[in-house]
Amino acid sequence: MMYPFLQLDDGTEIVHSDMRPDASVKVYFEKPDEKDCFHSAACILPAYRWENVNGFTQEELARYQEILESVAHLILEFSAQGGFEHASGF
């Protein structure tokens, strides 16, 4: 299951998976694009391994990496608890 996490000012949506048995979490980025329909990429936490990058520039990925590094601890917590809505204390 994928859980909504954040929408950025450029229209990029960020969602994340449940925590996997190996303690990794897939974070998915998707942004509408007039020419290509959608740009997308996935980043696997906690390794910050990017995969399936389609349409994003290196500058965009660097920005998303910076954002992700600042909120990864929340995503990891939420993924273990079934998303933001089920996280205690939020």
Dump pLDDT digits (tens) for 16-73.
Answer: 999 999 999 999 999 998 888 899 999 999 999 999 999 999 999 999 999 999 999 9
Residue 89's pLDDT is 52
Q: Are 73 and 46 in contact (CB under 8 A)?
A: no
Residue 34's pLDDT is 86
Residue 36 phi, psi dihedral angles, 5° rounding: -105, 5
Q: Are 25 and 79 in contact (CB under 8 A)?
A: yes
Closest to 26 measured CA to CA, from 86, 78, 85, 87: 78
Closest to 39 measured CA to CA, from 26, 29, 24, 51: 29
